[in-house]
Every structure is written in C-alpha cells, then in structure tokens.
C-alpha cells in the first residue's frame, strides 16, 4: 500500500513537468509566420499560363513580385491586338506574398476554359508586410498602385477603370473594402470577401489602434470611415458584391458592414454562403463563376467583352 501511494505521489509531482515539456514541444512545433519578402516562390501545379514576374517599386526601393494569370489564347497570333479586362485578387493573411492567393488561378482557369466565364486577366499582388497598407517603410498600397501602371504598360489590358476590378479575401477583403472607396476612379466593380470588418471598425473607434502591436495612420483609413467619405463624395458608379460564409468567423462583421453601407445609401449586394467557413478556395469552389461573372458583367456593360 505504501509503495502504491509513493508511486502515485511521484506521478502527481512529475505531471506538471511533463505538461510543461509537452507545451514547450507544441510551441516548438507551431509554425512561426514566414519572414516578409517582396519576392516569394509560387506553389506548384498552377495553370501553365500563370507567370511569376517582378517590377520595380519606386516607393519601396525594391523589386516586388506578382503573379499574373493570362487566359487561354492570350499569346495566339489571332488575338495579338485583343485587349483584356483585369481583375486584381488581393490575398489574405499577414505578411504579404504574391503566392498566397495564386492557387485561385486553378478554379479561375477551369471556369474560363469551360466557357462559363469570358476571358479575363487575373493579377495576384504582394500586399506588403502589413498586407495592403502603407505601414512604416513597407508601402503595400503604393506598391499596388504602381503595379497597376506596370501591368497596363506590359500587358494587353483595358487600361481604364471600366475594364478593371478588384477583389480579395480576409485581409484581402479588408484591403478591397478600403481600395474600392479610396480609388473608385480605378475600378468599376469590387468583391470584398470574408473581410474582418470588425477590426476595421475598431480602428475607426480607437484612434487607429487595431491591436497592441499595430496602429493604422491615418485612423480614418478603414472600411467604415472611407465608406462615409465615399457616400458624401461625387463618385463614379461602383458595383459592390460582399461575400461571406455563414460558418466564417467574420460572418456577422460582414452583415454589419453591409448594413452600414446601406445606411449610407451605398448600394451593395450581400451573398451569405451556407456551410462555408473562412476559406477563399471554399468560396471559389462554391460560387466561383458567380464572382467572376459579376466582374465580367460590368466589363460587358462597358463594351470590353463581346462574347
């Protein structure tokens, strides 16, 4: 009996140490965020028409990577004079990387090749260290604006807002929500998806403080205040499609933000997807052609798609 008791006491005494060691092992196994780089390797198994390119960003004093999807037939002789509308797809997560959203090129290519969607160019930018913000010495927003000029100069695009759209998921949904209001002169349609607009609201209400480690300047650079400014301005027509899954942890925030836009008189369409969690690929697998044809419809209205 005494032996059993001693064993039990020994095990009980050792358990905290075992637990601490297990926690340390878990911490060691937990992946740390990759360090930020302006140029990143792309994943494998992408469509053959995806290119990985760079451009020089004057604002960052650096070469910046981007991925670009060119539709079937872009390189053919018969299309040598054809110009294509462009969709800019902003990645989620932090830090930024042109590799983060480029897997969407797989369903994009499938839907274009099947004829469900007309031919369009898709560009996947690197959003910078804080993803789609100018923050400190990393100018993600300025790099994005420079990229648009670079793409228009180097590819057969419709180099006008009537042939240009922006979309994004998660951090990219937040970035889309800011860019579409700040730069409405550049886009005719926008699809912010799965964005954490509760964080944007906190920035608005907390003098720019997003978290203990991140403060946004100016504090009005958020999807709530920019919407107010947009509503009060003489702005061009902008079609907005908000998409979120009903199992996405940002679901309620997107519903609230949609109501905010409506209260300001800003027209937007909200699509809530049953059974979809926080995943850009899940959204595209569910309604990819709907999102793509939302942009294509606008391009068609302006005469840039005749098929």
Domains and CATH numbers, the chain: 50-301 (3.40.50.1820)
Provide the pLDDT confidence category of residue 295 given band limits of 50, 70 and 90: very high
Sign of the CA dihedral with 141 first, then 144, 146, and 149 last: negative
pLDDT at 182 over 80: yes
Asked if 204 contacts 219 with a C-beta cutoff of 8 angstroms, the reply is yes
Whether 57 has a pLDDT exceeding 70, the answer reads yes
Per-residue pLDDT tens over the stretch 86-139: 999 999 999 999 999 999 999 999 999 999 999 999 999 999 999 999 999 999
Q: Which pLDDT does position 8 carry in this prediction?
A: 35
Q: Would you place residue 306 in the very low, low, confident or very high pLDDT band (cuts 50, 70, 90)? A: confident
CA angle 163/158/85 to nearest 5° reads: 55
Residue 258 has pLDDT above 90, yes or no: yes
Q: Could you report the per-residue pLDDT of 269-293, keeping only the tens digit for each?
A: 999 999 999 999 999 999 999 999 9
- Asked whether residue 19 carries a pLDDT value surpassing 70, the answer given is no
Per-residue pLDDT band at 31 (split at 50, 70, 90): low
pTM: 0.89
Per-residue pLDDT, averaged over 65-88, amounts to 98
Please report the pLDDT score of residue 64 as a whole number.
99
* Local confidence band at 208 (pLDDT 50, 70, 90 cut-offs): very high
Rounded Cα–Cα distance for residues 102 and 30 (Å): 25
Rounded Cα distance, 248 and 50, in Å: 29
CA 180 to each of CA 47, 229, 265: distance values in angstroms, whole numbers, following the listed order: 28, 12, 16
Answer yes or no: are the C-beta atoms of 107 and 284 closer than 8 Å: yes
Q: Are 98 and 66 in contact (CB under 8 A)?
A: yes
Q: What is the C-alpha radius of gyration for the chain, rounded to an integer number of angstroms?
A: 23
Those residues with Cβ within 8 angstroms of residue 254's Cβ, 6 or more apart along the chain or in another chain: 194, 195, 197, 242, 244, 248, 270
When mean pLDDT is compared across 27-31, 172-176, 201-205, the lowest value belongs to 27-31
Give 226-247 pLDDT, tens digit per residue: 999 999 999 999 999 999 999 9
Residue 196 has pLDDT above 80, yes or no: yes
For the chain, give the number of residues.
307
Question: Residue holding tokens 């994004």?
Answer: 168
**257-261, 293-297, 303-307: which range is least confident on average?**
303-307
Q: Are 179 and 132 in contact (CB under 8 A)?
A: yes
CB 187 within 8 A of CB 166: yes
Residues 6+ apart with CB under 8 A from 26: none
User: What CA–CA distance (Å, rounded) separates 107 from 306?
Assistant: 23
């Amino acid at each position: 009996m005494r032996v059993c008791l001693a064993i039990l006491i020994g095990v009980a005494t050792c358990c905290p140490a075992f637990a601490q060691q297990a926690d340390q092992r878990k911490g060691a196994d937990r992946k740390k965020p990759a360090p930020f780089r302006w140029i990143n390797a792309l994943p494998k198994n992408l469509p053959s028409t995806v290119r990985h390119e760079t451009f020089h960003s004057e604002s960052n004093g650096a070469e910046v990577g981007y991925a670009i999807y060119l539709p079937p037939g872009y390189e053919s002789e018969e299309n040598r004079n054809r110009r294509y509308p462009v969709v800019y797809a902003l990645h989620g997560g932090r830090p930024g990387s042109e590799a983060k959203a480029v897997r969407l090129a797989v369903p994009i290519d499938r839907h274009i090749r099947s004829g469900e969607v007309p031919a369009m160019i898709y560009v996947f930018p690197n959003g910078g260290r804080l993803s789609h913000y100018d923050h400190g010495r990393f100018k993600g927003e300025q790099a994005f604006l420079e990229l648009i000029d670079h793409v228009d100069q180097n590819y057969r695009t419709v180099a006008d807002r009537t042939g240009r759209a922006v979309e994004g998921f998660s951090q990219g949904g937040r970035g889309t929500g800011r860019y579409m209001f700040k730069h409405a002169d550049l886009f005719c349609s926008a699809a912010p998806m799965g964005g954490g607009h509760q964080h944007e609201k906190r920035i608005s209400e907390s003098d720019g403080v997003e978290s203990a480690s991140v403060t946004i300047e100016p504090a009005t650079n958020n999807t709530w205040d920019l919407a107010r400014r947009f509503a009060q301005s003489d702005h061009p027509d902008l079609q907005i499609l908000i998409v979120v899954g009903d199992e996405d942890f940002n679901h309620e925030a997107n519903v609230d933000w949609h109501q905010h836009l409506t209260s300001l008189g800003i027209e937007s369409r909200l699509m809530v997807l049953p059974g979809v969690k926080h995943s850009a690929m899940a959204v595209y697998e569910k309604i990819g052609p709907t999102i793509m044809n939302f942009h294509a419809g606008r391009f068609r209205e302006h005469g840039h798609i005749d098929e």
